């Protein structure tokens, strides 16, 4: 017997069988309503309050399959137990395919009521579990949406804070006459901008787990170019990229490496008063499952050996960032100038 009163709608044009079913189900604790045709049954279902429908196959107009077809388009329709006296199993199969949750062979024996009660109990429990599953999934979706909104807000605030720090560094740089100090502050600003750019991409992205590196580098290169020009450097900066998506934790090292290599090229490639072109290239080798970041110039050249022209901090940072993404750092020979390349493996695709 059900734990609480459930309302069953029995649709059958046989008044004798309808009364038998109503009496049998009422004894077992159900509230039973009757409908003699499909139209009356559908009207009652639309009024609400029906927990399960027991539906006869043969009706005055059409069959119970027509009722199932009509219910398929109704949101929140109750589960249907199909009742058929047909000896052909094809009718039951058609009913199940049309949306019935169960079927019961129709007879005048006592077993019919027992089977019908069992099927109705099961249909009600199945519907309850389905609703609980849908509610749990909805709660998970809402929780995920809240978490993503919160994470986007966090990234927004971090990006704004880093932009403020970068602006303060620039103001400090403007107030200093010493070229070396201005250059050091420009490097610091480029590092800050590299990290801020990742967070800026994240709070405008539909997926905060990944960053489109090609789009990110376009913005980063513009920021670094503006910063270096502010520091008095006049070299031209260009970028060519393939499309690449990387997890967030890999985007930051890539951005910092590019910032370091570009600022080093601005500072040392063409001498203290010279100018030329600095080129950044991002290429993806799908067959090798790897990507490469390369920064090159046409300046005085350096092969990575011997004492660096500056403090060497930039080279140490690049090596550290390359190691964090399992990358390989190398200085490639050129007829003129310098080419520094970092090759790193692409992350394994996450399962869908």
Three-class SS of residue 294?
strand
Q: Which helix (H) or strand (E) holds 342?
A: strand 339-345
pLDDT at 184 over 90: no
Residue 329 contacts residue 318 (beta carbons within 8 Å): yes
Q: Angle, nearest 10°, between helix axes 248-268 and 313-324?
A: 160
- Cβ atoms of 299 and 337 within 8 Å: the answer is yes
pLDDT of 325 reads 92
* Alpha helices in 48-204, H assignment, sequence order: 64-72, 89-98, 110-174, 179-203
Which CATH code fits 176-345?
Answer: 3.30.565.10
Contact criterion met (CB below 8 Å) for 41 and 35: yes
| Residue 294: pLDDT over 80 | yes
CA distance 14 to 343: 79
Average pLDDT, the chain: 84
Question: How does pLDDT run across 120-156, given as a tens digit for each residue?
Answer: 999 888 888 888 898 899 988 888 778 777 767 776 7
Tokens of 311: 């403090």
337 φ, ψ (degrees, to nearest 5): 90, -165
Residue spans in the chain of domains classed CATH 3.40.50.2300: 7-138
Buried b (16+ CB within 10 A) or exposed e, 15-26: eebbebbbebbe
Instruction: Choose the weakest-confidence range: 63-72, 214-223, 310-319.
Output: 310-319
pLDDT digit string, tens, across residues 257-283: 998 898 888 888 887 677 889 999 999
**8 A C-beta contact, residue 296 and residue 340:** yes
Burial class from Cβ neighbours inside 10 Å (0-12, 13-18, 19+) for residue 230 reads middle
CA gyration radius, the chain: 36
- Other residues' Cβ atoms within 10 Å of the Cβ of residue 308: 15
Q: Identify the band that residue 351 occupies on the pLDDT scale cut at 50, 70 and 90.
A: very low
Sorted by sequence, the CB contacts under 8 Å of residue 141 that are 6+ apart come out as none
57-79 tens-digit pLDDT: 989 988 999 999 999 878 888 99
Predicted local distance difference test score (pLDDT) of residue 1 = 40
Q: State the helix-helix crossing angle for 64-72 and 38-47, rounded to 10 degrees.
A: 30
Local confidence band at 87 (pLDDT 50, 70, 90 cut-offs): low
CA distance 221 to 250: 18
Dist. CA 241–CA 220, nearest whole Å? 13
List, by residue range, all CATH 3.30.565.10 domains of the chain: 176-345
Architecture of the 7-138 domain? 3-Layer(aba) Sandwich (3.40)
Question: Residue 39: pLDDT above 90?
Answer: yes
């Amino acid at each position: 017997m059900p734990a609480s009163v459930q309302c069953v709608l029995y649709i059958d044009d046989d008044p004798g069988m309808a009364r038998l079913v109503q009496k049998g189900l009422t004894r077992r604790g159900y509230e039973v309503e009757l409908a003699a045709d499909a139209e009356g049954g559908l009207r009652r279902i639309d009024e609400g309050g029906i927990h399960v429908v027991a539906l006869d196959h043969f009706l005055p107009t059409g069959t119970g399959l027509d009722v199932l077809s009509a219910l398929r388009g109704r949101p929140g329709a109750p589960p249907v137990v199909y009742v058929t006296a047909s000896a052909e199993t094809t009718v039951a199969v058609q009913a199940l395919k049309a949306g019935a949750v169960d079927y019961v062979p129709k007879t005048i024996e006592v077993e019919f009521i027992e089977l019908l009660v069992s099927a109705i109990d099961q249909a009600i429990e199945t519907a309850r579990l389905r609703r609980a599953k849908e509610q749990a999934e909805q709660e998970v979706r809402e929780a995920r949406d809240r978490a993503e909104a919160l994470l986007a807000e966090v990234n927004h605030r971090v990006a704004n804070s880093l932009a403020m720090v970068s602006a303060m560094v620039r103001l400090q740089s403007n107030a200093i006459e010493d070229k070396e100090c201005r250059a050091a502050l420009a490097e610091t600003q480029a590092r800050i901008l590299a990290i801020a750019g990742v967070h800026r991409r994240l709070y405008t992205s539909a997926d905060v787990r990944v960053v489109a590196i090609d789009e990110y580098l376009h913005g980063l290169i513009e920021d670094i170019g503006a910063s270096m020009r502010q520091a008095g450097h006049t070299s031209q900066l260009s970028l060519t990229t393939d499309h690449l998506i990387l997890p967030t934790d890999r985007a930051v090292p890539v951005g910092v490496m590019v910032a370091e290599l570009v600022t080093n090229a601005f500072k040392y490639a063409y001498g203290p008063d010279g100018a030329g072109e600095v080129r950044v290239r991002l290429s993806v080798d799908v067959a090798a499952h790897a990507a490469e970041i390369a920064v090159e110039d046409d300046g005085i050249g350096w092969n990575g050996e011997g004492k660096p022209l500056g403090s060497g901090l930039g080279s140490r940072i690049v090596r550290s960032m390359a190691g964090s993404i399992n990358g390989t750092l190398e200085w490639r020979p050129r007829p003129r100038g310098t080419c520094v390349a970092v090759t790193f493996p692409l992350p394994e695709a996450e399962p869908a």
